[in-house]
């Protein structure tokens, strides 16, 4: 199948397929005699794998490691688990940071009268930083 068909089958845009190929995340596609990319079921499955991993928030570097492990049928699962656990820890830290930001903004908004007066604790707090 051509790149458009592979895109449709995998849910990955043609632009991202080209990008993933350019950075070496996926192997270069075979080429037809007229130099068009040609994709088979293996490549489409890898693109689906990448799409799912991106949807779970894995970085391109992490996806590269996961893809390498996925391709290696002899790999120990502990390596995969370690990557997943590290990613969960990163997500938990980001969630905590975002919750702290939301709490701060919630409190600042509570303190703001939101009326015709010019004084605003939200702007005052931003100016302090």
Mean pLDDT for each 10-residue chunk of the chain (129 residues)?
95 96 92 90 96 97 96 94 97 98 96 91 90
- pLDDT score, position 33: 87
- pLDDT score, position 129: 67
- The correct answer on CATH 1.10.3720.10 for the domain covering 1-58 is no
- pLDDT score, position 3: 94
- Neighbouring C-beta atoms of residue 124, cutoff 10 Å: 12
- pLDDT score, position 30: 87
Whole-model pTM: value is 0.81
Contacts 24+ apart (CB under 8 A), 90-93: 91/57
- pLDDT score, position 41: 95
- pLDDT score, position 29: 87
- pLDDT score, position 83: 97
H helix intervals, the chain: 3-10, 14-22, 41-55, 60-71, 77-111, 121-128
User: Among candidates 57, 84, 91, which has minimal Cα distance to 69?
Assistant: 84
CA distances, 80 to each of 26, 32, 42, 53, 62 (Å): 19, 35, 20, 12, 10
Rounded distance between C-alpha atoms, residue 50 and residue 53, angstroms? 5
Contact 67, 29 (CB under 8 A): no
Secondary structure of residue 57 in the 3-state scheme: coil
């Amino acid at each position: 199948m051509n790149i458009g068909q592979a895109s449709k089958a995998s849910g990955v845009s043609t632009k991202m397929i080209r990008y993933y190929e350019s950075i070496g995340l996926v192997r270069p596609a075979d080429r037809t005699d007229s130099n068009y990319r040609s994709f088979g079921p293996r490549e489409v499955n890898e693109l689906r794998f990448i799409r799912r991993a991106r949807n779970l928030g894995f970085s391109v570097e992490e996806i590269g490691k996961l893809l390498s492990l996925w391709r290696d049928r002899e790999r120990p699962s502990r390596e995969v688990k370690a990557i997943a656990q590290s990613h969960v820890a990163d997500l938990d830290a980001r969630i905590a940071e975002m919750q702290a930001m939301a709490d701060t903004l919630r409190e600042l908004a509570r303190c703001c009268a939101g009326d015709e007066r010019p004084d605003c604790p939200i702007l005052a707090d931003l100016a302090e930083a």
